[in-house]
Amino acid sequence: MTKPAYEIAVFPGDGIGPEVIDSALAVLNDAQSRYGVTLNYTTHDFSADLYRRTGKKITEADMDAIDDKSDAVLFGAMGLPDVRGPEGLELGAQVEMRAHYGLFASLRPVRLFDGVEGPLKDRNVDMLVIRETSEGMFAGLHDKHEPSDETASDRMTITRANCERLFDVAFSQARMRRKRGTPGRVTLLHKSNALRSNVLMERVFDEVAAKNSDVESTKFYIDVGSMYMVTDPKRYDVVVSENIFGDITSEIVAGIGGGLGIAPSADVSLTQGVFQPSHGSAPDIAGQGTANPIAMILSAAMMLEWLGDQHEDERCTLAGQGIQAAVEKVLAEGPRAKDLGGDAGTQDVTDGVIAALATVG
């Protein structure tokens, strides 16, 4: 249902997180007046810096406030090289977010824009990889099972209910993408010729595809399907797979894309979404004003499109598409950030996107 205003929880985080969040908010603010969308922001501290000071990554009050109110979450990046959690492990912000909000699908779009170098530059790449993140092989990591020196095994569990909601996300993403001219096709990458769990997954995929017959669907085995990602990426629009295959295909698209500075991402459930760049907190360039804000800005555009779909609000969809078109113009014509070979700073790129937004209609 369309809302007069959407509540957005903002987690700037660490390192360049707050810098790229500022850029994304500046672009969103401009888009709001242009497209008639109202976003209300509340900012919360979820950071390695807070953990260093208090032993907690976020306060309970902040977590409660978010749970009650937010329609979506914008997340910068979390983590500092000198801050580790218990047992010296990484703080694992993304894993924590997924668990807290019950997010089960990770979205990684890749689009080779004009003006951006990449290994498949002339192949017209424009696809979205969806990875299931709540079950599969990784979910068995916590099994009470001691491997011996001679034998070790892992367990892959896949459930019907989870497949159904995963494919619901895939088909609705295909419809969203179709609105901006992609073929609107969903492809399952699987290994049902070797894994029982994938036999069930394929069966559920066929059932969900039959209920969504307005959207084209295809299937490939993960091995040949991975090859097509680099040899013939035009086959793909939305690609969906279970956790471990999705982990690998997400990295393939990271390699195909033009670099971390322009790679957006999201983690979603059927009702909540956390939108964040694919990059980390990049402490090596924090505070220098040189971070490329485009990955964060494109993540914000994904958020608007997702809100548009969730709430059947065309204004949000158009605002998200408008920001993407503005980014496309900036990548083709400049200003160009340092990681893409230019000399523009974070603010220059942000100003460039806002100026382009006025021209893309």
Residues within the interface to ligand ATP (CB under 6 A): 16, 79, 260-261, 279-282, 284-285, 291-292, 295, 339
Nearer to ligand ATP, 16 or 66 (CB): 16
CB of 52 to ligand ATP, least distance (A): 15
Nearer to ligand ATP, 192 or 281 (CB): 281
Question: Would you call 352 exposed, middle or buried from its count of C-beta atoms within 10 A (0-12, 13-18, 19+)?
Answer: buried
- Provide, rounded to whole angstroms, the least separation between the CB of residue 117 and ligand ATP: 15
Least distance to ligand ATP, CB of residue 73, Å: 18
In this complex, which beta carbon is closest to ligand ATP, that of residue 3 or of residue 84?
Answer: 84
In the complex, least distance from residue 251 CB atom to ligand ATP, rounded to whole angstroms: 12
- Give whichever of 199 and 254 is closer to ligand ATP, judged by the CB atom: 254
Task: Report the residue number, 60 or 284, with the smaller CB distance to ligand ATP.
Answer: 284
Q: Residue 126 — φ and ψ, nearest 5°?
A: -155, 90
User: How many other C-beta atoms lie within 10 A of the C-beta of residue 254?
Assistant: 17
**Closer CB to ligand ATP, 280 or 322, in the complex:** 280
The residue with its CB nearest to ligand ATP is 280
Q: Closest distance between ligand ATP and the C-beta of residue 346, in Å? A: 8
Q: Whose Cβ is closer to ligand ATP: residue 16's or residue 316's?
A: 16
| Shortest distance (Å) from residue 91 CB to ligand ATP | 9
Q: Least distance (Å) from ligand ATP to the CB of residue 291?
A: 4
